[in-house]
């Protein structure tokens, strides 16, 4: 188990207890590592969570720091970065592709499929172990093996902004 996975396993229950979900843990660098933790509100599957505030980041930072201080999964000094995933959020888990079905995304595979590694289009959902990605300009659909996805993220579009604003409006009411 790599360090990021171990840290994710350690802090996920704390985040869930605070009403948040872990999006991603990334450990970068070697001399003075940076531990990046992305989180969001628990949305119950809705596309957007209403936003993350500075106070939310401070709360999560305190909660996560307490766990990391006790468990000490990183030897030596490191910098903790806590943030929202943002509009162009990374898509990490298969459930992310179902949650953001209909939105535009960029996907990069770890190895070429039909001579290509990079794909862009609207998420058509999951079918078995494949992500369906529709390229509206070309009128084609790619079937990408989920296990081969190296990275994926949403593309900021008008419909993504509209959904995000609707989520913020609902959270405010």
pLDDT at position 18 is 94
Q: Which two tokens stand for residue 160?
A: 């993504």
46 with 38: CB under 8 angstroms?
Answer: no
Structure tokens at 27: 């450990």
What's the pLDDT score for residue 138?
A: 82
Residue recorded with tokens 């509206």 = 136
Split the chain (173 residues) into runs of 10 and give each run's mean pLDDT: 92 95 93 93 71 92 95 90 93 92 96 94 94 89 95 94 74 54
1: nearest Cα among 30, 100, 76, 10: 10
pTM of the model: 0.84
CB atoms within 10 A of CB 50: 19
| pLDDT value of position 49 | 65
- For 68-112, write each residue's pLDDT tens digit: 999 989 888 899 999 999 889 999 999 899 999 999 999 999 999
């Amino acid at each position: 188990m790599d360090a990021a996975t171990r840290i994710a396993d350690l802090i996920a229950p704390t985040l869930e207890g605070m009403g948040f979900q872990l999006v991603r843990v990334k450990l970068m660098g070697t001399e003075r590592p940076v531990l990046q933790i992305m989180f969001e509100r628990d949305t119950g599957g809705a596309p957007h969570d209403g936003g993350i505030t500075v106070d939310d980041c401070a709360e999560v930072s305190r909660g996560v720091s307490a766990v990391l201080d006790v468990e000490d999964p990183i030897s030596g000094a490191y910098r903790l970065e806590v943030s929202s995933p943002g509009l162009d959020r990374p898509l990490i888990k298969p459930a992310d592709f179902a949650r953001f079905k209909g939105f535009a995304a960029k996907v990069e595979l770890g190895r070429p499929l039909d001579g290509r590694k990079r794909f862009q289009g609207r998420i058509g959902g999951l079918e078995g172990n494949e992500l369906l990605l529709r390229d509206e300009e070309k009128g084609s659909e790619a079937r990408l093996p989920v296990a081969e996805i190296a990275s994926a993220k949403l593309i900021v579009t008008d419909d993504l902004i509209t959904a995000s604003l609707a989520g913020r409006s609902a959270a405010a009411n």
